[in-house]
Structure 1
Amino acid sequence: MSLSISAKYYLYTGMLLLSGVVLPGCVRGQLGKDNSDQYYNGMVVCAYPDAAQAGLTILKKGGNAVDAAVAVQFALAVTLPEAGNIGGGGFMVYRSAKGKTSTLDFREKAAAAASANMYLDSSGNVIPNMSLATHQASGVPGSVDGMIQAHKKYGKLKWTELLEPAIALARGFKVTKRLANDLNRNAADFAARNPGKKYFLKDTQWQEGDILVQEDLARTLELIRDKGRAGFYEGTVADMLVAEMKSGNGLMTKQDLKDYRSVWRKPIIGKYKDYKIITMPPPSSGGIALLQLLRSVEKYPLSNWGYNKDSTVQVIVEAERRVYADRSKYLGDPDFFKVPVDSLLKPSYIDGRMQSFNWAAATPSTSIQPGNFAGYESDQTTHFSIVDKEGNAVSITTTLNGSFGSKIVVNGAGFLLNNEMDDFSSKPGTPNMYGLIGGKANSIQPGKRMLSSMTPTIVEKDGKLLLVVGTPGGSTIITSVFQTILNVIEFNKSMQTAVDAKRFHHQWLPDNVSAEAGALDSVTLEILTKKGYKINVGTTIGRVDAILVTPWGYYQGGADPRGDDTKLGW
């Protein structure tokens, strides 16, 4: 008798249960859940359905995870203009089917003419919106070079094939209800910041099902397809970008574009119990912060306490408070600042930071400062996760910073400029748009990469791929990835359930807990409030896209319902 795949799944599961075997957490959570969401040839999870389809098409053509990632990145630049981009930058974490890992830093850089005090007035105060809504807000874009370098090292299909889906989409695709609402909500800013241009504007309100045509962007993508790096960083597109900069007193020059290069960096690798965490090093703050958070809560019985119960929430909040304090002082571009990676990740240091935690009351953030080491000298974003048939995995988070970046479109080239310069510390101690505090480590310098919270991550169990995860969300990225990992490992949730789960966030300053509606029940809210925690309920946190590998080799996706996020597999 020949059994179907699903029959084998239930037979094997039943045999384990009858024999008294306790299934690992990631398996227990899957029983009876997401049974139709099991694919073994590959999976793409990203923020827009058309982009997910572009990636799946490449996988079905015989492309690998990196090939599909290139197709998804460029498709998102078309279909998700609030975050997908060719005018921004990001990070990639890669794990081959054989377990080899690497990370690619294609974060934007400050122009050569940038300076530490460029956003301050004559009195030394930050000029409102200058780092957000002007031509001076943009760093030198890295996304195109990043995709070229990733493909050069790991790609399988021809470069020209990978851009075809995005080019076709740029010539017309149907907008979702969410995108229509976003375009309508930002129409006034598009008009004000792009005089004489009509990008993303129409005479009537955008409606679900309308066709968005971006012909200028299609021609830009064709140049990138045909000329590779030179199609963006030189020639016609570079001329248009520099002309756009000059029209608004921007700093970026042809030399800045020509000089830009992505950087391959050594992954940050750590352990949480029996799990191996592979994540992004600086200038991402996410990898170090994630490992600090995991170590901070590792000794506590979270699974016994339960998902989002008062003790669980209290420990997580106190860990987040201390980790974000460290972030404010010690993290920046490692090419410009000596980041104390080993000291920050030393178990004794992290354990020591948690010793001031008191069960009876919230620790005021005013009493928490960045830690000290002996001898040390001193959202809008999108994420996608892809796994191919062989088991190669890619976790990529990419960004324009604010929604639609600076909302300034390069005339003639059709793509949005980022406003990533706001991720620098314009002035030590002054919060950026996400309320994050920074210091000297993240000060503005020519050619420097700004600090980021992006946390693309891959998790292994027993030497095998387990989880590919990441999210947009500005300062909440780190905590969303952290909580999603705990949802799988500690709370036995299936991938989709782990992504759906309500989240909360604390970032040291301001000293309050942000929680999604329904994240904390009334009893938990009462207990924590009485202990002095200030809790704001109602915000939406993150849009996690993730893939879980089951013990039977199936890929199980989690596409965040908070957006148009889509999971496709075969």
Structure 2
Amino acid sequence: MKKNSIYYPSLILFALAVASCKTQAPSTTSSSKIEQSQGVYQYRDEDPTVKPFFSDRQGVIGRNGMVASAHPEASQVGLAILQAGGNAVDAAVAIQFALAVVYPGAGNIGGGGFMVYRDNAGKAYTLDYREKAPGKASQNMYLDSLGNVRQGLSISGHLASGVPGSVDGMAEAHKRFGKLPWSQVIQPAVDLAEKGFALTERDALGLNRIKPDLNTINPGKTYFLKSTVPTDTVTWHKGDVFVQADLAKTLQRIQGQGRAGFYEGETARLIAEEMQRGKGLITEEDLKNYHSAWRDPIQAKYKNYNVITMPPTSSGGVALVQLMRFTEPYPLRKWGWNRDSTVQVMIEAERRVYADRAKFLGDPDFVKVPVDKLMSPDYLSTRWTDFSFAKASDSKTVKGGMIPGYESLETTHFSIVDKEGSAVSITTTLNGGYGSRVVIGGAGFFMNNEMDDFSVKPGVPNMFGLIGNQANAIAPNKRMLSSMTPTILEKDGKLFMVVGTPGGSTIITSVYQTILNVIEHGMTMQQAVNALKFHHQWLPDKTTFENGAFSDATVQALQSRGYILEKLTNTLGRMDCVLIRPDGSYEGASDPRADNTARGY
């Protein structure tokens, strides 16, 4: 059996263990449920007009191919590649590079990510093109002489960047599975950079928002500014045509030379010079030595579904399987969407999973990660012994589990299914929005601030509030831990769903809820994406939720049991998903919370 591939014919033992240690679930706050009416699910509660959705957007239906990504221009690029005879990997490569042009806040060639790929014969692969720490990095590089964290150094500026992996990852994926010529799948990105594209309102707002940082971190440069004079106050507007000449030249070098067009030669020289200018650590040698890694996918059963997802360096796959296994013994469908008992089980699962993440997860090339044990029913049953429906658990008393012998928010996602039924799920990132805000002079792209995803100091939270430990400590050439959770599901052995989202620490819980919305609560793919969401990550000990995600009665029931709830003023997730419908057609679902767009034919 493959490493990280576990199959259990049932969870009977775990279910029995759960049943033996839990108190009786209280009645849900009402007998209300989600019912379908003319294709739209209505949330029947105290107020019959209340819906569980962020919007009433409908899914896009196609039979020959489907893409869903964070930007309409990138989705159109992916669709055109499929229509030209390309496969899912060709479209993925084209979208990755297009996003580097049209979605600079997260789409990138200066960052990294993860790919889950399932071919049309059902064989699964995962590619880790996560960034690495530079060769000169050290465990205490962000601490002062007293051992305190020097605030901001791992988040903004040159020292915050790890060695990028996106270009190598796409080159590896295309070399192994691509169908169309490399130059053909890169050309759309070159065109977008060279000829320009019309900004959406969200594009313009983002570029205007980061102008002060651009001026501070990149003195004298005019990249991403509307004026050629850095200090001008002119701003971008919706519909402005954005041309990126230096980025076009960088993409042309990649187009003509492949991997070497980025990791060697002119582009590598420009990156190394920029790092030296800003006292960063990345060198030409670091770039030349970077290589992505093919890893064995995690595969785990949930009822009659098979979950195919990322192993470490991502924590997302392990966490998702843990969450699904904690959930499986409970009748969520009967209790209903976001009823108090449903939510309570999910919160308590999330609390324990994030505690495990902090203790055990890291780069498997550097630390022993007990992947199979963390997902096993016997281990999960021991994690559940202190659960009670009567009251909330206390995160101060919930630590990472005990395993004998073990030694101690900006991202983007896209999903693709081609005509033959091959599927790609990719999540890629710069980490924070626009990464470190460092733009490579002469090359025109943002660098990541992924060094903040390491445990800068054990017990000190990162920019997403996540706690890390020694397993995720900084070391030269080590990959930092991630929450990215690109995932593909099979149902009865056939392709069923392609799913993923950005969102920093909320990625795992958003993917988890979206999957359950379809397979437990009967929503369409688009409704599952539209559905309002919540999040708990162990520490801080609170549950955040989108406005409308919980009814007043659910809020009161949870608060009476000691749960700390916080209504968000923003949103959770930016899902891009594809569902295979019973008739064999594809439903593309893109998140209405942003510019996400699905395209199919």
For the superposition of Structure 1 and Structure 2, which TM-score range results when normalised by the shorter chain? over 0.9
Q: Write out aligned runs for 1:477-488 (5 A).
A: 477-488=507-518
Structure 1 position 516 matched with structure 2 position 557: no
TM superposition shift of 1:35:
8.3
Aligned to 2:211: 187
Secondary structure at 2:490 match in 1: strand
Structure 1 position 119 matched with structure 2 position 142: yes
Structure 1 position 551 matched with structure 2 position 582: yes
User: Which letter does structure 2 place at the counterpart of 1:182?
Assistant: G
> Which shows bigger deviation, 524-533 or 113-122?
524-533
Secondary structure at 2:431 match in 1: coil
* Cα distance per residue 1:191-215 (max 9 Å; x no partner): 1111010011124121110111110
Alignment check: 8 A CA contact 1:487 1:493 kept: yes
* Cα distance per residue 1:538-570 (max 9 Å; x no partner): 231110100000121100011001110000000
Q: How many equivalent pairs are there?
A: 543
Q: Write out aligned runs for 1:121-520 (5 A).
A: 121-171=144-194, 172-203=196-227, 204-520=234-550
* Cα distance per residue 1:501-538 (max 9 Å; x no partner): 00000000000001011111111111111111111102
CA distance in 2, matches of 1:524, 1:385: 33
Which residue, 37, 44, 63 being the options, matches 1:40? 63
CA distance in 1, matches of 2:540, 2:59: 43
> Which shows bigger deviation, 547-556 or 369-378?
369-378
CA distance in 1, matches of 2:414, 2:37: 22
What is the root-mean-square deviation of aligned Cα atoms in Å? 1.2
CA distance in 2, matches of 1:370, 1:74: 39
CA distance in 1, matches of 2:467, 2:571: 21
Aligned to 2:96: 73
Alignment check: 8 A CA contact 2:98 2:189 kept: yes
Structure 1 position 564 matched with structure 2 position 570: no
User: Which letter does structure 2 place at the counterpart of 1:364?
Assistant: D
C-alpha distance 192-340 of structure 1, shift in aligned 2 (>3 A): same
TM superposition shift of 1:30:
10
List runs of 5+ in structure 1 lacking aligned partners: 1-27
Aligned to 1:93: 116
CA distance in 1, matches of 2:160, 2:414: 26
Alignment check: 8 A CA contact 2:59 2:588 kept: no
Aligned to 1:55: 78
C-alpha distance 89-150 of structure 1, shift in aligned 2 (>3 A): same
User: Which letter does structure 1 place at the counterpart of 2:474?
Assistant: I
CA distance in 1, matches of 2:157, 2:141: 12
* Cα distance per residue 1:113-142 (max 9 Å; x no partner): 000000000110010000011211000000
C-alpha distance 289-30 of structure 1, shift in aligned 2 (>3 A): farther
TM superposition shift of 1:29:
6.9
Alignment check: 8 A CA contact 1:30 1:493 kept: no
Alignment check: 8 A CA contact 2:314 2:482 kept: yes
Structure 1 position 537 matched with structure 2 position 567: yes
CA distance in 1, matches of 2:392, 2:224: 46
TM normalised by structure 2 equals 0.89
List runs of 5+ in structure 2 lacking aligned partners: 1-34, 41-56, 228-233
C-alpha distance 527-451 of structure 1, shift in aligned 2 (>3 A): same
Secondary structure at 2:512 match in 1: helix
User: Which letter does structure 1 place at the counterpart of 2:209?
Assistant: R
CA distance in 2, matches of 1:514, 1:227: 47
User: Which letter does structure 2 place at the counterpart of 1:122?
Assistant: S
TM superposition shift of 1:83:
0.1
TM normalised by structure 1 equals 0.94
C-alpha distance 385-31 of structure 1, shift in aligned 2 (>3 A): farther
Secondary structure at 2:62 match in 1: coil
User: Which letter does structure 1 place at the counterpart of 2:155?
Assistant: L
> Which shows bigger deviation, 295-304 or 534-543?
534-543
User: Which letter does structure 2 place at the counterpart of 1:347?
Assistant: P
TM superposition shift of 1:377:
2.3
Alignment check: 8 A CA contact 2:59 2:589 kept: no
Alignment check: 8 A CA contact 2:59 2:526 kept: no
CA distance in 2, matches of 1:489, 1:163: 37
CA distance in 2, matches of 1:197, 1:119: 27
CA distance in 1, matches of 2:112, 2:39: 40
Which residue, 106, 116, 132 being the options, matches 1:83? 106
TM superposition shift of 1:378:
2.3
Give me the identity figure in percent: 61
CA distance in 1, matches of 2:186, 2:439: 21
